[in-house]
């Protein structure tokens, strides 16, 4: 029942924060957001399940209850976690609380609505990562978009309407493609509910039948492709990534943190859950195109980041690049590849969150994010700047920080992959991303943070306040902790990803 309690509490907290006056909202929201952290950490400490939730492994904190019956299909309230979803739940609760704190400075208008939406989004995200019934999952999946739409559209920058609508429409159309494909899949299976485990196991047993004249094999390929496209937009990978920089640039800092930190992981999580767990053979059939997409995302995303002059755009494009690694790890179909991809989701969530927050702290003080407008900030705001430097090095994959662990697992997993032809070539090409990422981040840092101080303002630039620094420190601590001891999450992740390999994708 802990998951229900977590969801109910977060929804109730959101409603409560909507109701309180603006001047109390920020502290109340932060205080309330600490409770889900405690809850998720309790789940982490009490977690004892083994195996993958979808392939018949033991599911932790599982509850099933019938909900509706439609056309012979039972829709259920079906939630539970395994080693893949639990780290992401922890990431969500942790990052939401810190994002709320990072909003204290920049958000000075309609605070109660802002924080209410943040908590509402948290609740829906927890739902996405815990739901095990397709319809329940889909409700949460779509409901996440709504708070984010308003967060960008109301509190965003000058082109916020454009960005918000682009974000909403782009990802929503993608969801539609995925939804239709998934329905076609389910209707061709002898199942009587939308429970994801049931569907997965039915597919694994080879029970897929023809659909309106499409043979089962073709249907599986078509469904795989459609679902891949649907989720790829969310990840995002090249070439369906262009909503991301616009959304990031216009979004207020806390929304960017959530967008890069958790919302992008919905895409990779769904890819892992749906495409790579349910249809592993089809994934192997598409291995080369997916490998190419991954490598292109890594290199092309990094090259785009190199060309940017807006700090937020740089970090946004580098997210595209980092997500390419995740795709590479998934398609490798090896233990370290898939495990590393899942680990990288968490690691990248923390690191990109840290980067957006740190850039936000600097923006709060300078009111500009353009690289050429400033120089030598390390002189005036040392703590924030050095944390940004630490975050940048984490992004570059500095050892003993979480990013290196994720990337190294992916590389070591994918290099010897048998599912992906020419795996060493793909891996080596993708790894070149670590040089480009160092290039653009170092270049941007050198120009903005170091050198003689220069910034045209009519006020004195001062150190950042404590409540801006505290979330940065917390994130940095988490990044180092996971970098030194990745097995805190990696063991349970492996536990849940290894059964996927046994389904036949990698063999």
Partner 1 sequence: MVTAFDYVPAIVLLPFVSFVVALFIGKQLPKKGAYGGIAATAGSLLLSLWVLASVAGGGAHQETYWTWAEGVGSQPFTLEFGALIDPLSALMLVIVTLIATLVHVFSLGYMNDEGERDLPRYYAGLGLFTASMLGFVIADNLLMAFMFFELVGLCSFLLIGFHFREPGPPSAAKKAFLVTRFGDYFLLVGVVAVFATFGTAAFAGAESFPALAEGALDGTVDVWTPGGLDTMTWFTVVGLLVLGGVIGKSAQFPLHTWLPDAMEGPTPVSALIHAATMVAAGVYLVARMYGFYALTPTTLGIIALVGGFTALFAATMGLVKEELKQVLAYSTISQYGYMMLALGSGGYVAAVFHLTTHAFFKALLFLGAGSVIIAMHHNENMWDMGGLKNKMPVTYWTFLAGSLALAGIFPFAGFWSKDEILYEALIHAGSEPLLFAGYAMGLLAVPVTAFYTFRMVFLTFHGNARSEIARNPEPVRWNVKGPLSVLGALAVVTGGINMVPVQKVLGIEGIDYLHLWLDNHWGGIEGLSSHHYAEIDPYSSTYPFGTEVATVLAGAAISLALAVAGLLLAWKLYNVAEPVEHTDKLGGAKTLLYNNYYQDEFQVWLADRTRGVSGGADTFDQGVVDGVVNGVSSVSLFGGDRIKRIQTGVVGNYALLLTVSLTALLVVFALLGGWF
Q: Interface residues with partner 1 (CB under 8 A)?
A: 166, 169-170, 238-239, 241-243, 300, 303-304, 306-308, 334-336, 376, 378-379, 393, 396, 398-400, 404-405, 408-409, 411-413, 415-416, 423-424, 427-428, 431-432, 434-435, 438-439, 442-443, 445-446, 449-453, 484-487, 490-491, 494-495, 498, 501, 506
Q: Which is nearer to partner 1, 302 or 350 (CB)?
A: 302
Q: Closest distance between partner 1 and the C-beta of residue 257, in Å?
A: 24
DSSP 3-state assignment of 74?
Answer: strand
The pairing of beta strand 60-70 with beta strand 73-81: antiparallel
Q: Which is nearer to partner 1, 69 or 491 (CB)?
A: 491
Q: Closest distance between partner 1 and the C-beta of residue 205, in Å?
A: 22
DSSP 463: P
> Which residues 6+ apart lie within 8 Å of 437 measured at CB?
302, 305, 318, 321, 395, 396, 397
Q: Which is nearer to partner 1, 145 or 445 (CB)?
A: 445
Q: Closest distance between partner 1 and the C-beta of residue 289, in Å?
A: 17
From CA 231, how far away is CA 220, in angstroms rounded? 16
DSSP 3-state assignment of 175?
Answer: helix
DSSP 465: P
Residue found under tokens 């709504």: 146
Q: Which two tokens stand for residue 167?
A: 């974000």
Q: At 211, give phi and psi (nearest 5°).
A: -135, 115
Q: Closest distance between partner 1 and the C-beta of residue 8, in Å?
A: 36
Q: Closest distance between partner 1 and the C-beta of residue 313, in Å?
A: 10
**Please, what is the Cα angle at 473 between 470 and 479, to 5 degrees?**
145
Q: Closest distance between partner 1 and the C-beta of residue 482, in Å?
A: 11
Q: Which is nearer to partner 1, 176 or 428 (CB)?
A: 428
Q: Which is nearer to partner 1, 23 or 462 (CB)?
A: 462
> Which residues 6+ apart lie within 8 Å of 458 measured at CB?
none
Q: Closest distance between partner 1 and the C-beta of residue 494, in Å?
A: 6
Distance of CA 80 to the CA centre of its chain: 19
From CA 14, how far away is CA 493, in angstroms rounded? 30
Residue found under tokens 């902790």: 481
Q: Closest distance between partner 1 and the C-beta of residue 502, in Å?
A: 8
Q: Which is nearer to partner 1, 262 or 492 (CB)?
A: 492
The 3 state secondary structure assigned to 87-107 is HHHHHHHHHHHHHHHHCCCCC
Q: Which is nearer to partner 1, 451 or 465 (CB)?
A: 451
The tally of CA atoms less than 13 A away on the side-chain side of residue 213 is 0
The tally of CA atoms less than 13 A away on the side-chain side of residue 300 is 14
Q: ω before 258 within 30° of 0 (cis)?
A: no
DSSP 60: E
Q: ω before 239 within 30° of 0 (cis)?
A: yes
Q: Which is nearer to partner 1, 202 or 342 (CB)?
A: 342
Q: Which is nearer to partner 1, 270 or 396 (CB)?
A: 396
Q: Closest distance between partner 1 and the C-beta of residue 368, in Å?
A: 20
DSSP 3-state assignment of 211?
Answer: strand
Q: Closest distance between partner 1 and the C-beta of residue 429, in Å?
A: 10
Q: Which is nearer to partner 1, 115 or 170 (CB)?
A: 170
């Amino acid at each position: 029942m802990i998951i229900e309690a977590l969801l109910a509490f977060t929804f109730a907290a959101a409603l409560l924060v909507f109701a309180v006056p603006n001047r109390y909202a920020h502290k109340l929201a932060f205080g309330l957001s600490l409770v889900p952290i405690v809850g998720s950490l309790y789940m982490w400490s009490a977690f004892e399940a083994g195996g993958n939730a979808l392939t018949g492994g033991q599911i932790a904190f599982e509850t099933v209850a019938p909900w509706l019956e439609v056309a012979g299909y039972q829709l259920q309230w079906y939630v539970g976690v395994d080693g893949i979803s639990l780290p992401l739940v922890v990431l969500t609760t942790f990052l939401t609380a810190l994002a709320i704190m990072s909003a204290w400075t920049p958000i000075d208008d309609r605070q109660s609505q802002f924080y209410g939406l943040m908590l509402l989004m948290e609740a829906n995200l927890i739902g996405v990562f815990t739901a095990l019934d397709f319809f329940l999952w889909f409700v949460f999946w779509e409901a996440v978009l709504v708070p984010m739409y308003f967060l960008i559209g109301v509190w965003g920058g000058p082109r916020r309407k454009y960005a918000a609508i682009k974000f909403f429409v782009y990802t929503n159309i993608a969801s539609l493609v995925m939804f239709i494909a998934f329905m076609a899949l389910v209707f061709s299976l002898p199942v009587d509910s939308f429970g994801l485990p049931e569907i997965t196991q039915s597919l694994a047993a080879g029970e897929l039948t023809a659909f309106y004249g499409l043979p089962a094999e073709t249907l599986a390929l078509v469904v795989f492709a459609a679902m891949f496209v649907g989720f790829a937009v969310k990840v995002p990978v090249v070439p369906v990534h262009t909503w991301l920089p616009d959304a990031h640039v216009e979004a207020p800092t806390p929304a960017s943190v959530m967008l890069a930190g958790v919302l992008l992981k919905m895409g990779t999580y769904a890819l892992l859950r749906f495409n790579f767990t349910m249809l592993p053979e089809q994934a192997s059939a598409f291995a080369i195109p997916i490998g190419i997409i991954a490598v292109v995302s890594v290199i092309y995303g990094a090259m785009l980041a190199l060309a940017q002059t807006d700090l937020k755009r740089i970090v946004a494009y580098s997210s595209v690049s980092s997500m390419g690694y995740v795709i590479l790890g998934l398609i490798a179909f090896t233990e370290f590849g898939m495990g590393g991809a899942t680990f990288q989701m968490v690691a990248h969530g923390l690191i990109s969150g840290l980067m957006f927050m740190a850039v936000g702290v600097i923006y709060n003080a300078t009111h500009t994010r353009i690289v050429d407008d400033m120089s030598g900030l390390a002189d005036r705001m040392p703590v924030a700047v050095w944390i940004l430097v630490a975050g940048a090095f984490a992004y570059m994959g500095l050892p003993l920080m979480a990013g290196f662990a994720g990337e190294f697992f992916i590389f070591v997993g994918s290099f010897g992959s048998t599912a992906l032809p020419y795996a060493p070539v793909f891996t080596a090409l993708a790894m070149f991303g670590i040089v480009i990422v160092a290039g653009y981040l170092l270049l941007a840092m050198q120009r903005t943070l170091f050198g003689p101080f220069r910034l045209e303002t009519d006020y004195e630039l001062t150190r950042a306040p404590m409540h801006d620094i505290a979330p940065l420190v917390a994130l940095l601590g988490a990044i180092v902790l996971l970098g030194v001891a990745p097995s805190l999450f990696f063991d349970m992740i492996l536990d849940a990803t290894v059964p996927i390999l046994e389904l036949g994708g990698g063999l």
